[in-house]
Amino acid sequence: MMKTGQQPFRKPNRSDWVLIGVLWVMAFPFMVAGNWEHPWWFILSGWVLNVATHTGPVLVIVYVLFPAFLFTRRYGLLFLSMLAVLAFFGLVDQLLIWQRYHAGQPFRWYDVLYSFIDVATQAGVLAAVLTGKHFFETQQRLIRAEKERTEAELRHLKAQIDPHFLFNNLNVLGALIERSPEQASAYLHRFSALYRYLIRNKEEDVVPLADELAFLNDYSYLIRQRFGRAYEIVTTVHIPDTLAVLVLPGSLQTLVENAVKHNQGSETDPLLVELTITDDTAVVRNERRPKLTPVESTGTGLKNVQARYALLSDKTVRIQSTAAEFVVSLPILRPVPIDSPNPALIHP
């Protein structure tokens, strides 16, 4: 069984062999140029031997030593093992050179040093190329895995909107049915329109601010029908073109709903819920007036908005809670230009 933290030995894949082959094919003309006075079979056999003595240490280092020592941070053993491998193949390389070019002459041991340097240089280049290739492939796999994870989380978070929204508004509708069937019918009509909005944008990560404001306006109507003037929702927009900027579908409604659900308002002393939209943020602010009877809440609404923004943008949802007021700031998002280096990210 593999110990924790140990990396399994990997084998060269098909693309690794292709890359190695391409590099050695590119090196073949240079070897021919240096041995043009010899017969073709001599040059070809020398090239094959050179490939073997210089590729061998690369395979051992990249596919055996790196998994065994580099990823487990045993750098001393890695360095000594690499020296031993390079020395062995340097010696083999020099013995082959001596046999081919200097047979019958005394073997000069100091020439092994030159072979060691030659093998280390060429093997180092090839090892660097292969390691870079593996690093790039690993990064691509991580990016794909992260993208798949992000998309899965986003789908899960968006799926929470439906039951959350349905649960809260059915409670409202139930109360209206007992009090006024006519108001309940009108409320149901508006509620149906709101739910169609959510269904229509269920697969959308973001929507134009203009659409979300229209959605919030319908929601404000439902609040007025149930509570009268107990809650006053005031919207101030400082953006000329609300179709050119984006927010998350249902995000503004969630914040207003949160204020209404947890705070007390009355006809004589209405609770003011202010929505102020600038170029950078949409700020929902309300005075803190906790209801005498705390409202049961699953807590998914605000957390859902925070998590969805975290997945779509590098800007976060800011929450300021004091004894006097509760303020939530949502980033205003903008489409990423087509020529952006990272088209998957929505820029705030």
CB atoms within 10 A of CB 301: 22
Rounded CA-CA distance 133/15 in Å is: 10
Rounded CA-CA distance 313/307 in Å is: 10
Summarize pLDDT for 181-234 with one digit per residue, the tens: 887 888 888 888 887 887 888 778 899 999 999 999 988 987 887 788 999 999
Rounded CA-CA distance 190/174 in Å is: 15
pLDDT for position 210: 94
CB atoms within 10 A of CB 146: 10
Average pLDDT over residues 271-281: 95
Rounded CA-CA distance 22/243 in Å is: 53
263 has pLDDT over 50: yes
Domain spans of the chain, in order of start: 14-153, 160-331
160-331, superfamily in CATH?
Histidine kinase-like ATPase, C-terminal domain (3.30.565.10)
Rounded CA-CA distance 43/203 in Å is: 64
pLDDT for position 320: 94
**What are the backbone dihedrals phi and psi of residue 65, each rounded to the nearest 5 degrees, phi first?**
-70, -45
Average pLDDT over residues 67-71: 79
**What are the backbone dihedrals phi and psi of residue 342, each rounded to the nearest 5 degrees, phi first?**
-135, 80
Rounded CA-CA distance 149/146 in Å is: 5
Cβ burial, residue 300 (10 Å; 0-12/13-18/19+): middle
pLDDT for position 8: 46
Rounded CA-CA distance 98/106 in Å is: 9
pLDDT for position 58: 86
How far, in Å, are 43, 108, 113, 197 from residue 104 at the CA level? 21, 12, 21, 91
pLDDT for position 287: 94
Beta strands in 38-111, from DSSP E residues, in sequence order: none
More confident residue, 110 or 85: 85
The residue count for the chain: 348
Q: Which phi-psi region, left, alpha or beta, contains residue 58 (left: φ > 0; alpha: ψ -120 to 50)? A: alpha
Task: Give the DSSP letter of residue 61.
Answer: I
49 has pLDDT over 90: no
Query: Which of 46-50, 126-130, 162-166, 238-242 is least confident?
Result: 162-166
* CA-closest candidate to residue 16, choices 50, 62, 54, 48: 62
Q: Supply the DSSP string of 224-251, one letter for each residue.
A: HHHHTTSEEEEEEE--S-TTSSEE-TTH
More confident residue, 105 or 197: 197
Please report, rounded to a whole number, the percentage of residues in the chain having pLDDT higher than 70. Answer: 84
Mean pLDDT score across all residues of the chain: 81
Sequence-distant (≥ 6) Cβ neighbours of residue 248 within 8 angstroms? 205, 206, 207, 305, 308, 309, 312, 330
CB atoms within 10 A of CB 324: 7
Confidence tier at 340 by pLDDT (50, 70, 90): very low
Tell me which residue has tokens 């909107």: 161
CB atoms within 10 A of CB 188: 15
pLDDT for position 3: 40
Rounded CA-CA distance 162/183 in Å is: 23
CB-based contact 116:90 (threshold 8 Å): yes
pLDDT for position 327: 96
Summarize pLDDT for 289-324 with one digit per residue, the tens: 988 876 666 566 788 888 888 888 888 899 999 999
